[in-house]
Amino acid sequence: MNETIAALAGTGASIDVQGISKRYRDTTALDDVSLQVKAGEFITLLGASGSGKSTLLNIIAGFIEPTSGRIEVAGKDITTVPPYKRDLGMVFQHYALFPHMDVWENVAFPLRRRKVARAEVERQVRQALDVVELGRLAKRRPSELSGGQQQRVALARAIVFRPRALLMDEPLGALDKRLREQLQLEIKRLHSELGTTFVFVTHDQEEALAMSDRIAVLRDGALVQVGTPEELYERPSSRYTAEFLGESNIFTGHHRGARFIDATTKADLAVGETGDCAGALVLRPEHAHLAAPGSDIPIGHNVLNGVVRDVIYLGSGLRVEVTLPDGRAIVSRPAARGRYTPEPGTGVLVHWHAERALVVPDHPSVAP
Amino acid sequence: MTSRRIVRGLLGALVGLTALYLVAPVFIVVPMSFSDSQFLKFPPTSWSTRWFESYFGDDEWIASTLASIQIGVLVTIASVVLGTLAALGMVRGNYPLRGAVAGLVLAPVLVPYVIIGLAVYAMFLQFGLTETTLGFVLIHTALAVPYVVINVSAALFSFDRRLELAAMNLGAGPVSAFLRITLPIIAPSMITGALFAFITSFDEVVTAVFLSGPDLTTLPAKMWSGVRVQIDPTVAAVSSMLLLVTLALFSGAGITRFVRSRSGARRNPGTAEPDTVRQTQ
């Protein structure tokens, strides 16, 4: 098993996206996007629909011509190279398997186009099918396979010719949740064993966090932030990233010195860093602790009064929604058996360490 | 409940009558072709196969049959090539007046054949194309192309172009992607179009009557003159054989399609089944 993967392993190429823009008659799909993908890296382009993530992937694949900018693969400009000479594997959302060929012929297709010798085709197709564990279905037509199996065939077909990078356009979007999680693991395993560069497109932030070395967040055709999942989650540079990745409680207001003044309640909250700008305070639910009214609050914590509205048992913990006096909701995720058990309808204190909340400045292009 | 039954009964009767109306000519022509009479007469009073013998013993009938087959085959080839290219241009092209071009290509279906026949006759006389295979192929191809275009463009509209992108991504150039992916997938529609094209040419009588003469007469034109000049039951025998050929062609196509869809259904146990079940097979 590992030997077969080793046989397919190649050295991934770096991909350098330089100032790529794509304009249509009256819309801008991508606006001056630059992104350096390291060789062998698993990078995810994350964004809502219409953010330009698929356009960028299609430009890298060579299916769409950019209005301006350059694409380099392994240091060589490929902006004008046609897709069939780029040597980049692609996995499409709806698989795009050839319906008139069986699994074997689908996987052999890229090798035949490269005039690989017959015996070698035989060997490499067998290896690729073994990697995705579909060897015994080689003679089936795509229409006779389930969605998950079709996606594995598409993967085998995209890796069999040892592409310089693997591009994946929402490859798991059409699958149900359980299967999606299973394939996420398989793709992750494939990445670490093949060592090829992976560029993965998704709108699913959980998928992005679970799989990527780095995530590039796109919004309205522009790059918002690039970083490791941890960086994006812990230190979002904008309110958009904070809201898009994971759950957050957000207060709009003004950052002054080491204080943050909430715009609606004028609540004066301590924060870790100093600054002076309009912005948003981001508090992740796992940092918002709960305590019974009147209990001692640790030094350095901000405290807000509220009423427990809803308690959901999640197995690993609780998800508690607290209503603040001004009507806004704040979400907390305490452990299931803490010292304090929240009861819906009762008063509660929400508190967090000043260092745990983050202020993101309002940026003109990302302001709500 | 009873009113529903009445409606169903009426509908059934209507369907039966319509079907009878459509196949009635068969019940008249086929018995007539086995008649022993000198004239086209229905119902026949005595039976024989002499009019079939008369057909096979007559050089003119055989010559016009061979001419029709030759023209039909040439028309089929020409109209499948031209019609497929036209469909590609109509479905995928991006140019001004695309709708007008589509209308022009499909026009022969709408224009009465008499008008086409008359106009073409006047033109072809000048170029010496009457009574020539080339002349017949030219006009029949124009009449047959729309049927190929209609079939192939329907297939192209439903064709998933991402398959071509996938092929190119995997190393196939545009021509290779078309020949290996697009063409095999639209091939069944091209075959259906080809069948229509052949029948269009083989059955065509109106323009054929204009273009036919002593040098070249197609089978339908020969039948037409057969009925007009000598009331000879050989025409009925030819008609019976034509019916048989048409029936064979279309039921052949139908059976192939049926067998293919059945084997497809049998091999495909459905996609709703969970993956794990499939993996244990």
> Is B280 part of a structural domain of the chain?
no
The torsion region of residue A181 among left (phi > 0), alpha (psi -120 to 50) and beta comes to alpha
Domain boundary among A205, A234, A263: A234
Structurally, chain A folds into a number of domains equal to: 2
Does A251 lie in the same domain as A193?
A: no
The torsion region of residue B72 among left (phi > 0), alpha (psi -120 to 50) and beta comes to alpha
∠ Cα A163 A73 A151 (to 5°): 35
Least confident of A129-143, A328-342, B115-129, B195-209: A328-342
Give residue A264's pLDDT band: very low, low, confident or very high (50, 70, 90).
confident
Interval A114-135 mean pLDDT: 92
pLDDT top residue among B253 and A108: A108
Does A168 lie in the same domain as A102?
A: yes
Does A255 lie in the same domain as A223?
A: no
| Res. A363: pLDDT tops 70 | no
Does A294 lie in the same domain as A213?
A: no
Read off the pLDDT of residues A161-202 as tens digits, 9 standing for 90 and up.
999 999 999 988 878 888 888 889 989 999 988 889 999 999
Query: Could you tell me which residues come within 8 angstroms of residue B128 by beta carbon, excluding any fewer than 6 positions away?
Result: none
Does A122 lie in the same domain as A44?
A: yes
Please say whether the beta carbons of A360 and A235 come within 8 A.
no
Which pLDDT score is estimated for B165? 94
| Res. A90: pLDDT tops 80 | yes
Which pLDDT score is estimated for B208? 92
Give residue B281's pLDDT band: very low, low, confident or very high (50, 70, 90).
very low
Give residue B85's pLDDT band: very low, low, confident or very high (50, 70, 90).
very high
Q: ipTM, 2 decimals? A: 0.81
| Res. B211: pLDDT tops 60 | yes
Domain CATH code at residue A328 = 2.40.50.140
Closest CA of chain A from B173, distance in Å? 6
Nearest residue on chain B to A62, judged by CA atoms?
B169
Q: Domain of A18?
A: 2-234
Domain boundary among A197, A212, A234: A234
Mean per-residue pLDDT of chain B: 85
Please say whether the beta carbons of A226 and A216 come within 8 A.
yes
Using the beta-carbon criterion (under 8 Å), do B264 and A146 form an inter-chain contact? no
- At residue A16, the 3 state secondary structure works out as strand
Alpha carbons A63 and A78: distance in angstroms, whole number: 12
Please say whether the beta carbons of A317 and A334 come within 8 A.
yes
Alpha carbons A290 and B145: distance in angstroms, whole number: 77
Which pLDDT score is estimated for B29? 84
Asked if A84 is an interface residue toward chain B (Cβ–Cβ < 8 A), one would say yes
> Is B25 part of a structural domain of the chain?
no
Please report residues of A whose CB lies closer than 8 A to that of B266.
none
Please report residues of A whose CB lies closer than 8 A to that of B177.
84
> Per the structure block, which two tokens stand in for A293?
């009214």
Please report residues of B whose CB lies closer than 8 A to that of A97.
166
Interval A103-110 mean pLDDT: 95
CA atoms within 13 A on the CB side of A108: 19
Phi, psi of A112 (to 5 degrees): -65, -40
| Res. A1: pLDDT tops 50 | no
Using the beta-carbon criterion (under 8 Å), do B169 and A89 form an inter-chain contact? yes
pLDDT > 90 in chain B, percent: 47
Interval B177-201 mean pLDDT: 92
> Is A239 part of a structural domain of the chain?
no
Interval A289-314 mean pLDDT: 89
Nearest residue on chain B to A133, judged by CA atoms?
B279
> Is A241 part of a structural domain of the chain?
no
Does A251 lie in the same domain as A211?
A: no
> Is B71 part of a structural domain of the chain?
yes
Using the beta-carbon criterion (under 8 Å), do A149 and B271 form an inter-chain contact? no
Does A283 lie in the same domain as A191?
A: no
Structurally, chain B folds into a number of domains equal to: 1
Give residue B262's pLDDT band: very low, low, confident or very high (50, 70, 90).
low
Neighbours of B252 (CB within 10 A): 11
Please say whether the beta carbons of A271 and A354 come within 8 A.
yes
pLDDT > 70 in chain A, percent: 95
Query: Could you tell me which residues come within 8 angstroms of residue B204 by beta carbon, excluding any fewer than 6 positions away?
Result: B113, B140, B143, B218, B220
Closest CA of chain B from A26, distance in Å? 19
> Is B40 part of a structural domain of the chain?
no
Domain boundary among A200, A234, A268: A234
Domain CATH code at residue B106 = 1.10.3720.10
Please say whether the beta carbons of B67 and B217 come within 8 A.
yes
| Res. A366: pLDDT tops 60 | no
| Res. A365: pLDDT tops 50 | no
Closest CA of chain A from B167, distance in Å? 8
Which pLDDT score is estimated for B271? 38
Does A167 lie in the same domain as A76?
A: yes
Does A222 lie in the same domain as A254?
A: no
> Is B33 part of a structural domain of the chain?
no
Does A149 lie in the same domain as A269?
A: no
Indicate the burial class of B59 (C-beta count within 10 angstroms; 0-12, 13-18, 19 or more).
exposed
Using the beta-carbon criterion (under 8 Å), do A90 and B271 form an inter-chain contact? no
Q: Domain of B181?
A: 62-260
Give residue A257's pLDDT band: very low, low, confident or very high (50, 70, 90).
confident
Alpha carbons B253 and B191: distance in angstroms, whole number: 9
Domain CATH code at residue A147 = 3.40.50.300
> Is B92 part of a structural domain of the chain?
yes
Alpha carbons A129 and A127: distance in angstroms, whole number: 5
Asked if B19 is an interface residue toward chain A (Cβ–Cβ < 8 A), one would say no
Mean per-residue pLDDT of chain A: 89
Does A268 lie in the same domain as A150?
A: no
> Is B174 part of a structural domain of the chain?
yes
Closest CA of chain A from B196, distance in Å? 24
Give residue A5's pLDDT band: very low, low, confident or very high (50, 70, 90).
low
Asked if A179 is an interface residue toward chain B (Cβ–Cβ < 8 A), one would say yes
Beta strand pairing call for A301-313 and A222-227: unpaired
- At residue A122, the 3 state secondary structure works out as helix
Asked if A88 is an interface residue toward chain B (Cβ–Cβ < 8 A), one would say yes
Which pLDDT score is estimated for A368? 36
Nearest residue on chain B to A176, judged by CA atoms?
B274
Provide the residue type at B41 as one letter: K
> Is A267 part of a structural domain of the chain?
yes
| Res. B124: pLDDT tops 80 | yes
**Mutate which of B169, B182, B189 to test chain A, going by most A C-beta atoms within 10 A?**
B169
Which pLDDT score is estimated for A209? 92
Asked if B112 is an interface residue toward chain A (Cβ–Cβ < 8 A), one would say no
> Is B241 part of a structural domain of the chain?
yes
| Res. A124: pLDDT tops 80 | yes
> Is A242 part of a structural domain of the chain?
no
Give residue A243's pLDDT band: very low, low, confident or very high (50, 70, 90).
confident
| Res. B40: pLDDT tops 80 | no
Read off the pLDDT of residues A202-232 as tens digits, 9 standing for 90 and up.
999 989 999 999 999 999 999 999 999 999 9
Indicate the burial class of A65 (C-beta count within 10 angstroms; 0-12, 13-18, 19 or more).
exposed
Please report residues of A whose CB lies closer than 8 A to that of B274.
146
Read off the pLDDT of residues A36-46 as tens digits, 9 standing for 90 and up.
999 999 999 99
> Is A167 part of a structural domain of the chain?
yes
Using the beta-carbon criterion (under 8 Å), do B268 and A61 form an inter-chain contact? no
Which pLDDT score is estimated for B267? 46
Please say whether the beta carbons of A78 and A62 come within 8 A.
yes
Does A33 lie in the same domain as A171?
A: yes
Using the beta-carbon criterion (under 8 Å), do A143 and B268 form an inter-chain contact? yes
Alpha carbons A152 and B176: distance in angstroms, whole number: 25
Query: Could you tell me which residues come within 8 angstroms of residue A133 by beta carbon, excluding any fewer than 6 positions away?
Result: A152
pTM: 0.79
> Is A366 part of a structural domain of the chain?
no
Alpha carbons B87 and A223: distance in angstroms, whole number: 41
> Is A240 part of a structural domain of the chain?
no
Least confident of A6-15, A297-306, B40-49, B135-144: A6-15
